[in-house]
Chain A
């Protein structure tokens, strides 16, 4: 028998028995498949119930009766196990969140099967369960998302027209799309970018158009872990400012966050591109300072330049 903990085996048995009671004569092989168990584990479970489970005083009339007829299983006299146990909160949340996430994504549930399933599941979880959880994986144009997913599936090279937020520029680039995925509230495309000749992660909501190039590509054996691609900051920046800048620690990853004795907030954050830093600095109190950690150079010139550019737009006649 596999080294499964007793409570886990108990909950497994308590899920299988009710099914057999309601579907008497189901072949053992079918049961094993349905419950994702090996046939020998399942047979052991059933024998354990047959030989060991019943009610005081354990006379034959109160023992559970399990019979194998040509490997078709029937269970009698286990009225107390005729329904499965209610779902734990963990189980309910996993299933509900998964279902709601995909329903929320347009086009993933064309026949409404998933919606019906989530509705039925919610009905047994309790009143109000249906509206209790909403999961939005991230904003994205459905057509673009679908086009990318099909390009991944067919290994088709595509041309993206992409706006890079970090660099504040729009480009056309040919890419080999490897995977579509959602992380931290956004959809991303992991692809080999021919412009950069490297793997890149593209925010799907910043892709304005996708066009097939008519070429195909061979994906590499090993696609790098996404988290690895997500990082890659080029420098660390130290910010010092009043309490009002503390929200930065909530909104972005940081390496250091502390309050100095005089009340100054000190943050060290990884920065990947200048426009990103410009946007951040322009939102923080003007007394905030910014220094590149490695070089010790002040970065406030970046802020002056950005503010001047915007001012030009507002002040032109």
Chain B
């Protein structure tokens, strides 16, 4: 397609705009971010190389550790709940029950609304419910905040995953079920020996998406609890993304280098977990 003599010109026309923006918007900040994580700085123009000091400080930072465990716990619960709900709703909606399309439309709807607005809406709703029931409010009780976030996430994400699972169910070839039926398989055997193996690609994708979405959760966290309550010097419901943000831009921000180091650690955790998960579930995929 691209003949040698004029190749360079076309490379400029086709690739340069995207690549230039990619360098400005991603590559440069990424490289600079790694560099800054080894520096002490307040302004980006005055940096001082301090080696791995920032990383040592990050690991000693109590709020960073607490945000890590809060996030981890949140990720485990939300990934399991969202996928279970989405899987079974998708299963039910592919049985051919009346109104399937309407239900599908309704369940997908919350995905279109941004995290900030969702956070606000649910904040109002939870507040009113908890006040009526004389229970501690979302921002004064850690476990209320936690379950509030879980409910919000399930409400938002289940519909999205359901769409992917529905596509998965619909792509299982019908003759496999027929063959299983002839071989005398009952309903449960069909589910575990035909449907589940054939659904592994969808399961891989959905776990991957929920895993990374939950890990990187920021907007909903900020709008729903903003990390409150503040107990023993730690913002109890602050997740990792919000915690890093606060280290950078919060009122008591003195050590931006530490924040950047925490950003790098956060990145490594996300990459390792995503890769491990892809490896584990990909292994179980089969070809039809």
Q: Note whether A and B form a binding pair.
A: no
